[in-house]
Amino acid sequence: MIPVYILCGLSGAGFIFIALRKTAKLLRKNAQKKVNACWSIGYMRLNNPFEPDLTEDMPSYNKFNINESAEALADPFVICSGDKHIYLFHEIVLKGVPPGKIAVSVFDQKNNRWEYKGVVIDEPFHLSYPYVFYANENYYMIPETKAAKSVRLYKAIEFPLKWRFVKSIIKDRKLVDPSIVWFEGKFYLFANRKKRLYLYYAGDLTGQWAPHPKSPVRRGNYARCAGRIIEYKGELFRPAQELSKGYGNSMRFFRIRRLSDKEYREEPAGRGDFLHPFGNTWARFGMHHYDVLKLAENDYFAVFDGKGVPVLPV
């Protein structure tokens, strides 16, 4: 039997640890509030999608770069169209209009900057995480629509500016950061609720979606997705948020080892965080999202977001 004084000591240490963690979170929150921290978007060209070189002077795209009165830009996803232009879909929060909206910007390669084109999906509820993808010769998007208690599918009528709601592929569930991937003849959808990673699958995008028999496939930390499921050298990688230190702190990758309508297994890819806070400006307090677009062999275009003090345009 363990002596009572040891149990009391362990219990006391546990309370102290929890109190210190709460205090640290509060201090970080107050520091962010003091400098009016908000989310911005960083971007760069890479030879390897898993080797970004994060520096203080790298370019960023933020609320000061657009012709709208905005509070934040976040959750960036990139896609290349048939005209070879690179389009950025992102969440935008406008001043005085609480619900997030989905906006699009196009990349000006000559000047290495983004040109804001405006809001493309606006609903009476909050929108974020505009997971855009190409399938069946059409452009689709599955943004986060937790506030609508469903996972909603949108289709581009006139890409990239006009989108139409198609259907709710998962109903009556408050799921966040839905992430879809086509693999070996099926669509798989990852989505998070209360620190559980749920998995669904379907043979047809607009058909019937079924819960995976192993779902939830992950619990606790890293159960929330942090961007597009990336295929690299024949393997799939799931970006995941590190949440033990609070929302939006950092992220890492998990290599998907087995994925079928009956099995699922993943394991950490590499050691430690892939993206984490750095510098004293736009990514000072956190980083929680990553997407990468393959342009050619050994040529990738990466986007990611960071929370901090946005950099004023030069």
* Per-residue pLDDT at 24 exceeds 70: no
Residue 170 phi, psi dihedral angles, 5° rounding: -135, 125
Query: What is the rounded distance in angstroms from the CA atom of residue 299 to the CA atom of residue 55?
Result: 19
Instruction: Tell me the sheet residues that pair with 17.
Output: none
With residue 267 as reference, give the H or E element that holds it: strand 264-269
Give the pLDDT confidence of 134-159 residue by residue, as tens digits.
999 999 999 999 999 999 999 999 99
Please compute the mean of the pLDDT values over residues 247-263 and round it to a whole number: 96
User: Which residue do the tokens 């909206």 mark?
Assistant: 101
pLDDT value of residue 18 = 45
pLDDT value of residue 75 = 98
pLDDT value of residue 143 = 98
* Per-residue pLDDT at 16 exceeds 80: no
pLDDT value of residue 56 = 87
User: pTM value?
Assistant: 0.91
* Cis amide linkage into residue 310, ω under 30° from 0: no
Hey, where are the domains in the chain? Answer: 1-34, 35-308
* CA 125 vs CA 79, 93, 101, 250, 271: distances in Å: 25, 12, 9, 27, 38
* Per-residue pLDDT at 202 exceeds 80: yes
% of the chain surpassing 70 pLDDT: 89
Query: What is the rounded distance in angstroms from the CA atom of residue 14 to the CA atom of residue 301?
Result: 44
* Per-residue pLDDT at 293 exceeds 50: yes
35-308 placed in CATH 3.40.640.10: no
pLDDT value of residue 31 = 65
* Per-residue pLDDT at 46 exceeds 50: yes
Give the pLDDT confidence of 77-94 residue by residue, as tens digits.
999 988 889 999 999 999
Distance of alpha carbon 302 from the chain centroid? 13
pLDDT value of residue 246 = 85
